[in-house]
Structure 1
Amino acid sequence: MRNKYQITTDKNRLNIVKIHDYLANRSYWAKGRSLDEVTASIENSLCFGVYYKNEQVAFARVVTDTVSFAYLLDVFVFENYQGKGIGQLLLDAIFSHHDLQCVNWLLRTSDAHGLYAKYGFDTIDNPISYMKKSS
């Protein structure tokens, strides 16, 4: 199956309009996000695109300093390609990326907990020690 799909961090191949449409209109976590916001988030992240016959079928991005932390965001597979193991291929590529081998990971999600658990994610034991600042 891996040979059917190409995974790359080449931002020039990303279909930003398609990514924006998914995030702004179909995701639960980024409803209403503007095209400018999506573009800026892509420009400032390590992005992963999955392609089938040159069509983008999945996306994820990582915000990282490549030393101490990585925050996994905007992980999705387009509807027509869900249920084919593409999400797992995408996560395999992310977690094996050479720049991300020594980082501590963060992820905020309301779904796919079972999938992320396979990669070592767990709930935060002491969430009181984490703080946030919203804009």
Structure 2
Amino acid sequence: MTYEIRTDLTDMDLDLVHEWLSTDAYWALGRTREAVGTAAEHSLNVGAFDGEGRQVAYARVVTDHANFAWLCDVYVDRDHRGRGIGRRLVATVAERVDEMGIRRTLLATQDAHEVYAGFGFGPLPDPTMWMVRTPPA
């Protein structure tokens, strides 16, 4: 089966993306449809579509378009996994951020380190420099 990669937000089936993320993605369980839509509107979006035009995968990139990018919400439909679609999404993202001249792209993953390593991702050089803020309960 051949897959087409698209990057236009209007091509993304955000209802389907919401279903994937909110019910099956460990990092986004319970995320609201509104949050998925708002995030997509403020991100670079990448989707894979089958020969009939159905979306089968999604990724997005949060970026300032100059210095920094964060690759997130990478998801491939369970029925289409193992076909290199995730790698194609990441390759498209890498190409786009390289074209922008972005020198630092981050991501977080529990289980796909080998996929991302093939595109130059590696551990933080000095994790002691990084901090995170979460809102008070």
Q: TM-score, normalised by structure 2?
A: 0.91
Deviations 1:19-56 (A, max 9, x none): 00110000100000000011111011000011112010
- Please state how far the C-alpha of 1:89 moved relative to its aligned partner: 1.1
C-alpha distance in 1 between matches for 2:90 and 2:62: 15
Deviations 1:68-103 (A, max 9, x none): 110000001100100011111111111112644433
Equivalence for 1:31:
29
| Structure 1: gaps spanning 5 or more residues | none
Equivalence for 2:56:
57
Letter in 1 for 2:129: S
Equivalence for 1:43:
41
Equivalence for 2:130:
130
Equivalence for 1:117:
117
- Please state how far the C-alpha of 1:113 moved relative to its aligned partner: 0.3
Q: TM-score, normalised by structure 1?
A: 0.93
C-alpha distance in 1 between matches for 2:92 and 2:77: 17
Q: How many correspondences in the alignment? A: 133
Letter in 2 for 1:133: R
C-alpha distance in 1 between matches for 2:111 and 2:119: 15
| Structure 2: gaps spanning 5 or more residues | none
The 3-state SS of whatever aligns with 2:114 is helix
The 3-state SS of whatever aligns with 1:89 is helix
C-alpha distance in 2 between matches for 1:110 and 1:72: 14
Identity %: 37
Does the CA-based 8 Å contact 2:67-2:101 persist in structure 1? no
Q: Does 1:91 align with 2:100?
A: no
C-alpha distance in 1 between matches for 2:101 and 2:74: 19
Letter in 1 for 2:7: T
CA RMSD of aligned residues (A): 1.4
Letter in 2 for 1:75: V
C-alpha distance in 2 between matches for 1:51 and 1:103: 29
Equivalence for 2:18:
20
Does the CA-based 8 Å contact 1:70-1:100 persist in structure 2? no
